[in-house]
Each structure stands twice: as structure tokens, then as C-alpha cells.
Amino acid sequence: MKEKTNLKRIVSLCKWNIGANRKEYIKVFSVLFIVNILMQLISGKFKGLLNFNPSWHLSRSFAYYGNIINMVMATLVFLVLIIIPTMSMSTIKKKESRIRFLTLPATQWEKFLSLHITTFITTVASFIISYIIVDVIMYILGVFMGYGSETPSMFHVHNEVAPVAKFEDITPIQGIELTALIYILCMLCHSFFSFCGSLFRKHTALFSALFLMLIWLIVGLAFSMILPLVPDFEDKDDFFRDNNWVCLIPCGLFLLLSVVFYFLSYKIFKRYDVRNESITNL
């Protein structure tokens, strides 16, 4: 009889993973702390501090808030869709850690979920906490340098992040269909890098990037052969604007590919061999 998924076991696995790999997560926090410092340095605020010119900075405060918050949100999306799924299996790439983890009393599905959940929570939390710390430090520096009327950028997130994105300039397709396509593309990106994280044991980021380039090359060649066969017509934009249902075709295809990548990611994880020291986990 198939054992049911137990939430308490998943939570216990997450706690065990954090405790057993705390040094790795401290390294992640350190890297993200440096990333946040670099974003502050290139956002425009630090230039005003170094120039000892409060009037210059205050006149550019709106640009600063927009720059830093946009960079923070873009980095967070990059982390969630690419870095986190790629890193999810990194804590068990060594033989000793793999033996300890795979012999824990839990099902393979629970172990698989716990790795993804732990990596997601620790990475996102590390990024947000490091951003807040760096933001407060920059605020304190600003106070000492004479920017007393300024507030940390974290209090301006709700003003700078647009709730709705507009794509009129790049595509005639609008409405719920385009929104669904964007979310499914995000899911496809996450599923692909989850698959790469399960597939590659060594140099995961490098081989994931090379694998993605290979797929883009194949897709590009396929489009270059298919597009000439599609008849061209003058009112093409009007056609897509009036027939948004066409967008559901790639939605269905990308959703199917996402499910396939998630399925393959779990299947590869189930086949993990503690004696495997090769580049891939196959």
C-alpha cells in the first residue's frame, strides 16, 4: 500500500536540512548580502553620499527608489525562477551528505519536496533579510551624511512596483490569455531548471546554461523552418488582437512541457545512487 504524504515529516526534513547544511546557507546569505550592497552601489544613492552633495541626491531620490526597487524585484524573480530550482539538490551532491539524507525515514516524494521547500525558504529569506539590513545601513549612512528627511527604500515598494504590466508595444495579444501565458512561461522556466538541478550533480549552473542554449538553438532552427510556411497577411496584428484564443495554443504546450520537466525531475531524484560520482545523477 502506498504511503501517504505526511506534512509533519516534510517539516522535520526541512529542519534537519537547515541544521545539517547551515554552513552552506550562511554562504548563500553572504553572497546575497554582497549582491544587495552592489545593487545599492549602482542604484545612484551611494554616488550622492560619496559626492557629499545632499541637494544632488534629494533631487534624484525618486530615481533612486525606482532603480533599487526594480533591481530588487528583478533579482528576486531571477532567484525564484532560475537560481533556487537549480540549487535545490546542491546540499546532497556530496556522497556523505547524500547518504545521510537519503537514509532518513521518509518517502522519496517527501524528501524531494523538502529539498525544494528548504532551498526556496532559506534563499528568499536570506535575500529579503540581507536587503533590509543593507537598506537600513544605507539609511543610517544617509542620516550621518545629512540626508535626514530620507526614508529607507523598503517603504517605497508599494509605490514603485506596478501591479499591472502593459505589453502593447511588443504584442497585439492582450487580456487574460497573455497573463496566463506569462505565468505559464514562468512555470516552464522553473520546471526546466528544477529538471537541470536534479539531472546535473557537478557544475550544475554551467551545464544548465549550456543545456538551455542548446534548446534555444533547436527551437530557433525549428522556427526558422516553420515561419516561412506561415502565410503573411496585412492585418496580422488585428487578427491576433481579435482572436486572443490563439494564445491558448502555446499556453497548453508550455504547460505540458512544465509537467514533463517536473515529472522527470522527480523521476531522476528517485534514481539517486549514493555511489554515483559522475557529472549527472543518471
CA torsion, ordered 246, 195, 190, 241, to nearest 10 deg: -10
- pLDDT by residue for the chain (282 residues), tens only, comes to 466 777 888 889 899 888 888 888 999 999 999 988 888 777 755 555 545 444 444 444 545 566 677 777 788 888 888 888 888 888 887 778 888 888 888 888 988 999 999 999 999 999 999 988 988 887 777 777 665 445 666 665 555 444 444 544 445 455 566 777 788 888 888 999 999 888 887 788 888 888 888 888 887 787 777 666 656 555 555 555 566 666 777 788 889 999 999 999 999 888 887 766 677 777
The secondary structure of the chain in percent helix, strand, coil, rounded to multiples of 5, reads 75, 0, 25
Q: How far are the Cα atoms of 32, 121, 223, 241 from residue 229, in angstroms, in the given order?
A: 47, 47, 10, 22
Check residue 121 and give left, alpha or beta (phi > 0: left; psi -120 to 50: alpha). alpha
pLDDT digits (tens, 9 = 90+) for 61-108: 545 566 677 777 788 888 888 888 888 888 887 778 888 888 888 888
- What are the grid coordinates assigned to 129, written together? 533579510
**Is 32 within 8 Å of 132 (Cβ atoms)?**
no
pLDDT digits (tens, 9 = 90+) for 185-218: 888 889 999 998 888 877 888 888 888 888 888 8
- Dihedral over Cα of 126, 127, 131, 137: its sign: positive
Report percent pLDDT > 90 for the chain. 15
